[in-house]
Amino acid sequence: MVDQESLDFDEKFKLPYLKNAISLNNILSHTTGYQFLGNIEIEQGMNRSKLLTLLKKQQASCKPGQCYKYSNIVFSLLEEVLNCKKSSLNAA
């Protein structure tokens, strides 16, 4: 997608788990504003669906791009954003 110039790292995506739209750049640089780590829950075997439900209840510490907050579960949304982008390209 990068080679085809169809992927913009600053394009904003709205996901049902987050109140603010975020970009790939926000995810990759841990600047989404969310700090839900989920480490304990992941180690206890909590499934992704439940982790995302917990994430949805979180409040952002700041607007995307304004602060650094590491988050395992938010980083995992990278796959979802790429699949969303791929689907929109296939539909075009």
The token duo for 29 is: 């640089």
The pLDDT score that the predictor gives to residue 83 is 84
What is the percentage of the chain residues whose pLDDT exceeds 90? 45
**Residue 2 pLDDT exceeds 60:** no
User: d(Cα 18, Cα 7) in Å, to the nearest integer?
Assistant: 21
Determine phi and psi for 13, rounding to 5 degrees.
-125, 140
The pLDDT score that the predictor gives to residue 36 is 76
The pLDDT score that the predictor gives to residue 12 is 93
| Nearest one of 76, 57, 74, 82 to 6, comparing CA atoms | 82
pLDDT digits (tens, 9 = 90+) for 23-65: 999 999 999 999 877 788 888 899 989 989 988 998 999 999 9
Write down the H helix ranges in the chain.
24-28, 39-43, 48-56, 72-75, 77-91
The token duo for 89 is: 């390209």
